[in-house]
């Protein structure tokens, strides 16, 4: 990854609430905190799932599951 992207990622991360604190609030039932957790990790989780599954058809099932989790949360 180019260093300019790393700097942007670090700058963006510093603006976001602490993920640990958001997880605590989520465990306490805070739906806004859950939405923020989802927003922070969604792309990374889906990217990891696609690399693990290595099959676009199966990935569709993973994507559907994440959407269900978002709706339930």
Integer CA distances (angstroms), 12 to 6, 29, 50, in order? 10, 26, 24
Residue 7 placed within a domain: no
How many other CB atoms are there within 10 angstroms of residue 22's CB atom? Answer: 22
Residue 50 placed within a domain: yes
How far apart, in whole angstroms, are the C-alpha atoms of residue 6 and residue 16? 15
pLDDT, tens digit, 9 for 90 and up, residues 38-52: 888 888 887 887 777
pTM of the model: 0.52
Residue 3 placed within a domain: no
The total number of structural domains in the chain stands at: 1
Residue 8 placed within a domain: no
Residue 34 placed within a domain: yes
- The range of the structural domain enclosing residue 43 comes to 18-72
Residue 2 has pLDDT above 60, yes or no: no
> Cα–Cα–Cα angle for 50, 14, 19, nearest 5°?
55
- Dihedral pair phi/psi, residue 35, rounded to 5°: -60, -40
Residue 5 has pLDDT above 60, yes or no: no
């Amino acid at each position: 990854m180019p260093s300019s992207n790393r700097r942007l990622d670090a700058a963006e991360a510093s603006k976001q609430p602490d993920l640990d604190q958001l997880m605590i609030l989520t465990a306490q039932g805070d739906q806004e905190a859950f939405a923020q957790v989802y927003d922070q990790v969604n792309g990374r989780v889906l990217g990891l799932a696609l690399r693990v599954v290595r099959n676009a058809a199966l990935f569709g099932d993973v994507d559907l599951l994440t959407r269900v989790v978002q709706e339930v949360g």
